[in-house]
Every structure is written in structure tokens, then in C-alpha cells.
């Protein structure tokens, strides 16, 4: 199977697609731009969901469900919102065999339908905050799609909260950004930069958008999650007024925040290699696979030995499987489980058995060593933790290595070189993350994007204090430190 | 709050809606026929999901996700399927600002899109079985809707499996029916009858449909889950041929099966009373609520005492909360938590505290007794199990009490009386489940339905052996024992 994977050095885009298809994570569907998430991809999504959902609940949020169809007139109530989403809508014009009085769109995001309900549920400050979240799919008509990274329909969660004060809403926005960061780092092994978006990149309808940005192996940035402070924009658009503690009327303050199946794409692109998928053990549907190696006369003994170890691994909390398929050779199985990203492979033949040992291979480093079977379950738990840590550290080192401070336009252009086109098979990508001072003027940003496709990914939250000096693009006094990159 | 509930004896339909709205389980949405599932309703759904999902996985099924949009031409490939679903479709005609070449429908069910993918994934008997399930929402344009019971969009799971042989598929159909029955009985406390549907009631595209049917408190039947044996209908419609063990080509055999948020409606209608929701403890978001009763001088001591008990209840595995809201009286709280269906209420005042006791009230029976606080966590676990058992037993006794064997058309008509209209507020419902022999002829069934709205709910699986005698409708020789009822 492994030969089906195009090496990264030949064509990075094709390498990615080869992994998604060959590891059976997702497939193209007959509906243009929509994907099928196959069981191995969905199992990863379930683990991502569980990690986030647990933290959403710990921070006081409740799940609920709002209709997938939204009246077109709702979209139009917030002027920036409709401008941003209208070009991407799928529109239902007929239902039950009749033309509808008003067309409905399939939700591209749910602020409007949710705030139309909040109007009924919020009368007093006593009704606040509302801390709601829903897991669902959304639809945004996209011309150019790529499995997991950009599809017309994708799975996500969207948190929508309503608050009494601006400060409460701002704190919520930052709290959820931090939840996103924490799970990305600890569970998905994605080192991310938490920052604020520039005006041109913010969510349609937001006052401010915050994000976590990760670097892929081709040195491009990928936005992995966003948290929006919506001010009173939707409160006003849907007339959600409440009685304050002081007995006055005020509009409710809002946030919204989302992560999607795009995170699966980020995990693949960050950790995988030319042999296939590499998965953080926390996300891996199977964490260890035992591959028995035997001849007819040793079969029964080796299999019994493997079964015993399998039971012990499970007891130790390891998601382990035994690959007893007799129609496949051990070598074929090695390649298959490498393709699928199983973090640990345990090979056991008659000689290993006699010596009370097993050959254990790590998917992340390829290291292989004979280990005592007696202590193997405890050792496997340790190794899985080591792999989890290593994947994060490796990705972080890669990002640091490919991040460069730039002081001038010339330095910035030299760093990125000529744009090779988003879809081109770039043997060696140029650039990475450039860190430079920025005046805050959108025209500087737009000119750079038009020329190079390099954009401001974010203004990192922990780097804004005492920014002095001049804009690396125009030379005027700088207001922010910005992270520049080409992006997905 | 309790006075907002219309008593069942006055108007059963209104009683149901009052509970759904007042217990904040769901709400009407601005999109006709679509509902909003509010956090308390969704928390119940999450528990139902967890119970089923665990058993799906234990029986070898994997979750995945298929697009929500389906090309209209796909629906037309299976002739019965399109006939059944076409009148209920919502149709997307525009995407991304342009009219689509081919209209897409929002999935009413996913057999067609899934089997179009199975064609790519199934080549050989080695690829079988495929045991896939998805959790999603579906859309069926409905004229008359009722929260949870019948809405245009609803949440469900749909299992879709492909098999090598007819026998494998039939076994799968029955296995999943049994999973449905087990969770309905053990977790939802719904006594159900597992049976086969008559030809007129089967799924559009199925060879045979099996179901679980429950009796509501108004003695009507509610179909709580269905499992379909689809034969080779979809295998042929989508040309899913595979190489058999014998080296020949054959079409794959199929099943599909689903349960939905309708189950929440069944739970409400089966167990609740005129004070509000009654929930099986296994489904209750909160299983016990502590209500402190104090005056200013005893407040600190009583609250500390309650907090300690709260911690102990949680340690014992009870989902407990402490209602410390100072703006509400204890009496208001009692009514509120009764409305919300919290299975156990624990009242603690200064005198209880001094005596080392607490007053414990059961939601299901209304029984109230002072219990020693020392052993309360263990006792609470016992009481919750007793409530779980009692709700099932009570519902089962009600069904038995309202089930009548009938031998003739006259007996059957006398049992049901005059049809009072589906939406009428029936003070005392007539009828229930009638058990009678049936010839198997659809014309007998259709005539009865036209006259009385009574239909054959199912042919119970465990009652078909040695059926003799004559059809209770036409007098011809009988083939089946049938359960008759009016239904939701």
C-alpha cells in the first residue's frame, strides 16, 4: 500500500490527498464539494469531539439543537453577516412539492436563527448568561474544495453565548479561545499561536475575531479555530433587550466560537510522513496493534501468547488490537498499520515468545526495540505518552525553525520568494511564519496579499506589549506585532 | 409553574405540549415544522444516544458521516423509495448564487447516497459486512407537526449495513431490533412490543419492516424504532455487485434501522403526570436535587450540611445538584423540580439537620419519608434503581390492562368506539391495543383504517406460532396474530 503515497518532496498536496484516501479517513461524494467521512476519520472526530465537549461542559456550557434551515430574511438582519455569507448559501426553494413563500437557506452558521430564539428566552439579567453549543454540520458553497480542509458541508460545533455585560462577553471569547488552544496542544499535538485577526480577516458580523493558527509541514498556516466577540450586533439585529440590574433596558452581548473537521486535516498535515498517517495516541482509534508471526507448527502457541498480551494491554487502558488476518503477510500488515497511523506496533514470533520478548516499533520515530513482555503493558502506556509529547515538541521545533523576524518589505519578500500557486506541487516550500511590526492599516495588508498571497494570520496575544518601531511594510509607526504567512 | 399544565383528563394533547414547553425540553422555531431542542431536552437525547451508541459499537458497528444533500436522481433509482419520500422532500435549487444543474434534496433518509458509495467500497465478499451508522438530522416536509413526535427536521441515527447473504442481513435486522427493544425497556422504561409491520405500513423500499411499538397514556400506539430488511433492492438499484466465495457475482444484501428524537416524546407521554415531566433516572440530567430550607440565622449551617451531602451523593455516582437560589421559595422550587422531572428531591431544614435526617421525596410515586443522612447516598442509588424499575412495571401494567383480545369486527369496533379525531382533547380515551387474528389481506386493513383510524401496529414476533382460527375482520382463515391500535 505504501507505494501509493506520493512523497511530500514531490507533491505536498497530492501526498495529503493520498493519505486521506488510503488511510480511509474520507472519500469524495457524488455531491460536488461534499465529503464522506469514513469510519476511521469519524473515530478521530469522535475523540476530538469528546475532548472539546468535556471542556465545554466543565466551563458551564450546555448542548442544544437549532433547525438547519434559516429564513433568508434572518440573514439580512445583520448587514456585515449577510455580506459575508450570501455568496456561499445553498437555498431551499421547494418543500413538500410546493414552492415556498420565503426561501430558506441551509445554515452556513447559526447566529441568526439562534438569536431569533434568544429574543424569546431573554427578558432579564436573571436569564443571562446563556451558554449554549451545538454539534452539527454547516453548508458553505465552495468552488475549490479539499477533503477536511475546505468542503461545502463540514461537521463542527458552534458555541453561541449571550451576556449581561461587554466584559462578560469578552471574557467568554477569550476563555473559549483558551479551551481551543489547550485541546489543540494537549490532545491534537498542534502547537498553535493564539491571536487576534486583523479587520480584513474577521468574522462577518463580529467586533473582533480571535484564532489559533498552526503551521503545516509545507510551512503554510492553517486556522484551527476561531472565537468571536460579537458585541451587541446580533442583540440589536434581533432586538434582544433585557432588563438590567439597574432596571434599565440594554441589548445582550454576544460571542460565538467554532472548531470543525478541518482539525482532522491539520492533524494529518502536521504529523504524517511519506509512509502514511501519524496520529497522536490520544486520537488514535487503535493505539497498538499486535502482529503475530508464525509458521503452521508455531501458530497455536504464538496466537495464544498474543491473545494474552492483548488482554493485558486492554486492562492497562491501551486501545489494542490483534491482527490475525491469515490472508495477509506480516510485511503487508506492517505497511498497512503504518499507513493507518497506529502509534505502536508489537511483533511477536516464536523466538520472541521463547525469550519472553516482543519487538516494539514506534510509528512516530520508526524506532524498534525488543522489550520484555512481562512489563509491556506499563511500558506501552509510557511509550504512548512519549509519542504524544514528541509529536507536539517536533511540530513546535519545526515552527520555531521556520519562523523569521522581518524588519522590512525586502526581507519579507525574500523570505517567501515567488508565489508558486496554491495548488502547485512545491518540492520545497519557501517561507514559513514571518514576524513583523505592522502599522494596522488594511491597505498595507491588502497590497502584500495581492502581490504574494501572504496575509496577516494573527496578532499574537502575548506579543503586543510595548511594540515600537516601524511597520515592516510601509515604514510608518507600528501598532502591532503581526504573524505573516501563506495559508490554507 | 405547575398550574400551567393542562390536566390529562381535560386535554391530553395540550397536556403533552405544556410539559414540553414548561420543562423547557423544546420550543417552536421560526421555520415552520422545525423545532429547537433546548438544553434539557438535548441532555436527555445525549443519554439516549450514549445508550444506543455503546450497544451499536458492541455489536461491531462503526460511525461515519455522509452528505446531507442527495441528487434527486438518486432517489429515483429505487421505485418504491422515491414514491414514499418524494412528497416530503425539501429541495435545494440554488447554490453559491447560481441555479444548480440538478436539484438536490436534503436527506429524508440516506439509503441512496450511502449505497452510491458502497458501490465503490464493495468488490468482494472480503469487503463484507459493512456495518455503518450515522447520527444526524433528516428533513421530511410534514403538514401537521408536534414537538418531538412529528417534526419536519428531527435528529436520529440511521444504520446502513451491507451483507454477503440474505441470512446475514435478516439476522442483522433482527439483532438491531433487539438492541432497540433492550434500550427502550432498560433505559427508557418503555415496555414495547417487537413485531413485523404489515405490507401497507412497511418502509418505502424494504422487503420487510420490523418495529417496536409502545402504548402511550392515552392508549394510542407510538412506533418507537424500526429495523428494515431491504433485500437486494438497493444493491440492485445502485449496482453493488461483489465477487462471492464461489467466484460468482451477486448483489449485496442490505438492512437499515433508525431511532429518533421521537423517543423523547414517547418517554414524556409514557411516564409524566399532571405535575409535569417524570423521567427514568437513567435519562435524567439531574437525578437528585437538594433543596435547603433555612432562615437567616440557620443559613450557613444548613448550606454547609447540604454541600457536604451533595459531595457524598456525587461520590456515590448520583447526578445531584443543590438548588441554592435565594430568590425562590422552597415551595416554588418543589414545583419547579417536579415540573422538570428530577427523580429525587431532598429537603433539608434546621430540624432535619439536628436530627441527622433529610426528607426525601420520590417523583414517580410522590412518596415522602425522612431518611438518615448518614446512609443517604447509598439509599439514593437504591431509590433511583427502584424508580427505574417502577416506571417500567407501571407502564407495562397499564398496557396489559388496556389490551383486549378481539374475535370479531363487532368486538373491535365496540372496543374503540367512535373516532374522536387525532387532535381532539379526549377526556377519556377509548380503546387501547386490540389483539386479533388477521387474514393478511390489505383490503381488510384499509377498510378498518378508513372507518376508525385503527391500524395494524405490528404482528408480534413471539405470538405467531400456531395461529389458527379466522380473521377478526372478514372471517376468512387467519394467517397472523395482529396488534391493532390508533397511533401517533
Distance CA A37, CA A71 (A): 28
| pLDDT tops 80 at residue A423 | no
Mean per-residue pLDDT, B126-150: 95
| pLDDT tops 50 at residue B427 | no
Question: Could you tell me if A200 and A82 lie in one domain?
Answer: yes
- The pLDDT assigned to A419 comes to 55
The pLDDT tens digits of the residues spanning A288-346 come to 999 999 999 999 999 999 999 999 999 999 999 999 999 999 999 999 999 999 999 99
Distance CA A481, CA A402 (A): 17
Provide the number of structural domains found in chain A. 3
Write out the residue range of the structural domain in which residue B20 sits. 2-271
DSSP state of A76: T
Instruction: Tell me which of B41, B86, B90 to substitute to probe the interface with A (most A C-beta atoms closer than 10 Å).
Output: B90
Distance CA B38, CA A118 (A): 11
| pLDDT tops 90 at residue B331 | yes
Q: Is B280 contained in some domain?
A: no
- At B419, the pLDDT band (50, 70, 90 cuts) reads low
The pLDDT tens digits of the residues spanning A143-163 come to 889 999 999 999 999 999 999
Q: Does the N-terminal peptide bond of residue A227 adopt cis geometry, omega within 30 degrees of 0?
A: no
A199: which residues sit within 8 A by CB, 6+ positions away? A442
Task: Please identify, among A211, A245, A271, the residue that sits at the C-terminal boundary of a domain.
Answer: A271
| pLDDT tops 60 at residue A375 | yes
From A414's Cα to the closest Cα of chain B, the distance in A is 37
Question: Could you tell me if A144 and A178 lie in one domain?
Answer: yes
| pLDDT tops 60 at residue A3 | no
Distance CA A115, CA A121 (A): 10
From A286's Cα to the closest Cα of chain B, the distance in A is 13
- The pLDDT assigned to B424 comes to 46
| pLDDT tops 80 at residue A266 | yes
Residue A345's DSSP bridge partners are A289, A361
The pLDDT tens digits of the residues spanning A157-185 come to 999 999 999 999 999 999 999 999 999 99
- The answer to whether A452 and A413 have CB atoms below 8 angstroms apart is yes
Q: Is B278 helix (H, G, I), strand (E, B) or coil?
A: coil
CA distances, B404 to each of A381, B426, B485 (Å): 60, 20, 11
| pLDDT tops 80 at residue A395 | yes
DSSP state of A199: G
Residue in B with minimal Cα distance to A152: B67
Task: Please identify, among A351, A383, A415, the residue that sits at the C-terminal boundary of a domain.
Answer: A383
Mean per-residue pLDDT, B107-132: 97
Q: Is B397 contained in some domain?
A: no
CATH code, domain with A322:
3.40.50.800
- The pLDDT assigned to A430 comes to 74
Residue written as cell 455568496?
Answer: A87
- At A1, the pLDDT band (50, 70, 90 cuts) reads very low
- The answer to whether A125 and A242 have CB atoms below 8 angstroms apart is yes
- The pLDDT assigned to A136 comes to 98
Mean per-residue pLDDT, B171-181: 98
| pLDDT tops 50 at residue B428 | no
CB contact under 8 A, A327 and B126: yes
Residue B4, number of CB atoms within 10 A of its CB: 11
- The pLDDT assigned to B142 comes to 87
Residues of B in contact with A327 (CB under 8 A): 126
The A368-372 sheet, strands edge to edge: A320-322, A288-292, A344-348, A357-362, A368-372
Q: Which three cell numbers stand for residue A462?
A: 502575548
| pLDDT tops 50 at residue B425 | no
Q: Is B353 contained in some domain?
A: yes
Residues of B in contact with A94 (CB under 8 A): 89-91, 93, 103
Mean confidence (pLDDT) of chain A: 95
Q: Which residues of A6-18 are buried (b: 16+ CB within 10 A; e: fewer)?
A: bebeebbbebbbb
- The pLDDT assigned to A4 comes to 83
**Sign of the dihedral defined by the CA atoms of residues A230, A231, A237, A243, in that order:** positive
Question: Could you tell me if A28 and A128 lie in one domain?
Answer: yes
Q: Is A395 contained in some domain?
A: no
Question: Could you tell me if A376 and A415 lie in one domain?
Answer: no
CATH code, domain with B457:
3.30.110.30
Question: In this structure, what is the dihedral angle of CA atoms B365, B368, B373, B378, given to the nearest 10 degrees?
Answer: -10
Question: Could you tell me if A364 and A459 lie in one domain?
Answer: no
Question: Could you tell me if B293 and B235 lie in one domain?
Answer: no
Long-range contacts of A36-41 (CB under 8 A, 24+ apart): A36/B64, A36/B65, A36/B66, A36/B67, A36/B117, A37/A155, A37/A261, A37/B64, A37/B65, A38/B64, A39/B62, A39/B63, A39/B64, A39/B132, A40/A285, A40/A340, A41/A148, A41/A261, A41/A264, A41/B64
Distance CA A25, CA A12 (A): 18
Phi, psi angles (nearest 5°) of residue B27: -145, 160
Q: Is A377 helix (H, G, I), strand (E, B) or coil?
A: helix
| pLDDT tops 80 at residue B476 | yes
- The answer to whether A36 and A26 have CB atoms below 8 angstroms apart is yes
- The pLDDT assigned to A152 comes to 96
CA angle (B467, B468, B470) in 5-degree steps: 120
Q: Which three cell numbers stand for residue A362?
A: 514506534
pLDDT-wise least confident of A428-442, B41-55, B413-427: B413-427
Question: Could you tell me if A198 and A251 lie in one domain?
Answer: yes
Residue A216's DSSP bridge partners are none
Question: Could you tell me if A309 and A358 lie in one domain?
Answer: yes
Q: Is A95 contained in some domain?
A: yes
* Selection from B453, B447, B450, B439 nearest residue B484 by Cα: B453
Q: What is the pTM of this model?
A: 0.96
Q: Is A359 contained in some domain?
A: yes
Question: In this structure, what is the dihedral angle of CA atoms B404, B408, B411, B415, given to the nearest 10 degrees?
Answer: 50
Transcribe A443-485 into DSSP letters. Answer: HHHHHHHHHH--EEEEEEGGG-TT--SB-TTT-SBP-EEEEEE
B111: which residues sit within 8 A by CB, 6+ positions away? B78, B81, B160, B205, B230, B234, B254, B256
Q: Is A398 contained in some domain?
A: no
Burial of A62 (0-12, 13-18, 19+ CB in 10 A): middle
Q: Is B282 contained in some domain?
A: no
The pLDDT tens digits of the residues spanning B341-399 come to 999 999 999 999 999 999 999 999 999 999 999 999 999 999 999 999 999 999 999 99
Residue A155's DSSP bridge partners are A137
CA distances, A371 to each of A333, A346, A360 (Å): 20, 10, 7
- The answer to whether A105 and A132 have CB atoms below 8 angstroms apart is no
The pLDDT tens digits of the residues spanning A445-479 come to 999 999 999 999 999 999 999 888 999 999 999 99
From A403's Cα to the closest Cα of chain B, the distance in A is 37
CB contact under 8 A, B65 and A89: no
| pLDDT tops 90 at residue B423 | no
Distance CA B267, CA B222 (A): 11
Question: Could you tell me if A379 and A257 lie in one domain?
Answer: no
pLDDT-wise least confident of A202-211, A422-431, B454-463: A422-431
DSSP state of A19: H
Mean confidence (pLDDT) of chain B: 95
Distance CA B309, CA B320 (A): 10
- At B429, the pLDDT band (50, 70, 90 cuts) reads low
- The answer to whether B334 and B293 have CB atoms below 8 angstroms apart is no
Question: Could you tell me if B428 and B328 lie in one domain?
Answer: no
CATH code, domain with A261:
3.30.930.10
Question: Could you tell me if B26 and B156 lie in one domain?
Answer: yes
Strand B90-95 and strand A90-95: pairing?
antiparallel
| pLDDT tops 50 at residue A363 | yes
Mean per-residue pLDDT, B33-53: 97
CB contact under 8 A, B30 and A116: yes
Task: Name the residue facing B36 among A35, A45, A67 (closest C-beta).
Answer: A67
- The answer to whether B323 and B348 have CB atoms below 8 angstroms apart is no
Task: Name the residue facing B29 among A27, A41, A67 (closest C-beta).
Answer: A67
Residue B101, number of CB atoms within 10 A of its CB: 7
- At A424, the pLDDT band (50, 70, 90 cuts) reads very low
Q: Is B319 helix (H, G, I), strand (E, B) or coil?
A: coil
What residue spans of A229-288 are helical by DSSP H?
Answer: 233-237, 262-271
Question: Could you tell me if A369 and A419 lie in one domain?
Answer: no
Helix (H) or strand (E) holding A322: strand A320-322
Q: Taking phi first (over 0 means left), then psi (-120 to 50 degrees means alpha), and beta for anything else, what does residue B413 get? A: alpha
Mean per-residue pLDDT, B23-30: 97
From B104's Cα to the closest Cα of chain A, the distance in A is 9
Q: Which three cell numbers stand for residue B347?
A: 429537603
* Selection from B461, B457, B484, B463 nearest residue B472 by Cα: B484
E-strand ranges in B203-328 read 208-215, 221-231, 241-243, 249-251, 253-260, 288-292, 320-322
Mean per-residue pLDDT, B71-100: 93
From B108's Cα to the closest Cα of chain A, the distance in A is 11
- The pLDDT assigned to B345 comes to 98
Residue in B with minimal Cα distance to A53: B46
- The pLDDT assigned to A428 comes to 46
Residue in A with minimal Cα distance to B90: A95
Task: Please identify, among A246, A271, A296, the residue that sits at the C-terminal boundary of a domain.
Answer: A271
pLDDT-wise least confident of A417-431, B115-129, B139-153, B236-250: A417-431
Residue written as cell 399544565?
Answer: B5
CB contact under 8 A, B89 and A95: yes
- The pLDDT assigned to A425 comes to 44
Amino acid at each position: 500500500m505504501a507505494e501509493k503515497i506520493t512523497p511530500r518532496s514531490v507533491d505536498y498536496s497530492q501526498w495529503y490527498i493520498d493519505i486521506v484516501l488510503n488511510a480511509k479517513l474520507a472519500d469524495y461524494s457524488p455531491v460536488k464539494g461534499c465529503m464522506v467521512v469514513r469510519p476511521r476519520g469519524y473515530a478521530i472526530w469522535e475523540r476530538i469531539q469528546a475532548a472539546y465537549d468535556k471542556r465545554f461542559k466543565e466551563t458551564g456550557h450546555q448542548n442544544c439543537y437549532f433547525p438547519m434551515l434559516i429564513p433568508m430574511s434572518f440573514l439580512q438582519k445583520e448587514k456585515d453577516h449577510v455580506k459575508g455569507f450570501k455568496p456561499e448559501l445553498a437555498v431551499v426553494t421547494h418543500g413538500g412539492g410546493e414552492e415556498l413563500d420565503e426561501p430558506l437557506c441551509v445554515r452556513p452558521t447559526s447566529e441568526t436563527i439562534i438569536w431569533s430564539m434568544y429574543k424569546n428566552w431573554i427578558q432579564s439579567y436573571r436569564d443571562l448568561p446563556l451558554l449554549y453549543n451545538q454539534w452539527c454540520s454547516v453548508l458553505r458553497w465552495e468552488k475549490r474544495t479539499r477533503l477536511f480542509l475546505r468542503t461545502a458541508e463540514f461537521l463542527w460545533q458552534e458555541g453561541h453565548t449571550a451576556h449581561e455585560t461587554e466584559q462578560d462577553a469578552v471574557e467568554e471569547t477569550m476563555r473559549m479561545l483558551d479551551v481551543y488552544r489547550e485541546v489543540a496542544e494537549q490532545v491534537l499535538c498542534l502547537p498553535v499561536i493564539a491571536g487576534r485577526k486583523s479587520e480584513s480577516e474577521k468574522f462577518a458580523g463580529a467586533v473582533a475575531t480571535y484564532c489559533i493558527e498552526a503551521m503545516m509541514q509545507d510551512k503554510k498556516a492553517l486556522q484551527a479555530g476561531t472565537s468571536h466577540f460579537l458585541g451587541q450586533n446580533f442583540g440589536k439585529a434581533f432586538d434582544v433587550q433585557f432588563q438590567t440590574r439597574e432596571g434599565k433596558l440594554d441589548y445582550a452581548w454576544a460571542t460565538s466560537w467554532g472548531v470543525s473537521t478541518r482539525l482532522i486535516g491539520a492533524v494529518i498535515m502536521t504529523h504524517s510522513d511519506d509512509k502514511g498517517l501519524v496520529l497522536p495516541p490520544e486520537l488514535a482509534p487503535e493505539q497498538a496493534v499486535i502482529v503475530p508471526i508464525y509458521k503452521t507448527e508455531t501458530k497455536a502457541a504464538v496466537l495464544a501468547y498474543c491473545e494474552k498480551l492483548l488482554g493485558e494491554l486492554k486492562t492497562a487502558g491501551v486501545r489494542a488490537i490483534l491482527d490475525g488476518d491469515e490472508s495477509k503477510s506480516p510485511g503487508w500488515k506492517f505497511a498497512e498499520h503504518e499507513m493507518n497511523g497506529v502509534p505502536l506496533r508489537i511483533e511477536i514470533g516464536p523466538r520472541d515468545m521463547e525469550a519472553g520478548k516482543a519487538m516494539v516499533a514506534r510509528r512516530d520515530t520508526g524506532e524498534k526495540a525488543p522489550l520484555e513482555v512481562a512489563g509491556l503493558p506499563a511500558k506501552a502506556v509510557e511509550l504512548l505518552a512519549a509519542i504524544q509529547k514528541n509529536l507536539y515538541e517536533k511540530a513546535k521545533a519545526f515552527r520555531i525553525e521556520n519562523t523569521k523576524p522581518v524588519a522590512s518589505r525586502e526581507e519579507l519578500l525574500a523570505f517567501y520568494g515567488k508565489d508558486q500557486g496554491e495548488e502547485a506541487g512545491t518540492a520545497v516550500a519557501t517561507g514559513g511564519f514571518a514576524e513583523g511590526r505592522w502599522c494596522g492599516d488594511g491597505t498595507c495588508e491588502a497590497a502584500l496579499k495581492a502581490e504574494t498571497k501572504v496575509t496577516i494570520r494573527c496578532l499574537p496575544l502575548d506579543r503586543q506589549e510595548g511594540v515600537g518601531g516601524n511597520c515592516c511594510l510601509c515604514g510608518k509607526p507600528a501598532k502591532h506585532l503581526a504573524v505573516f504567512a501563506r495559508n490554507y
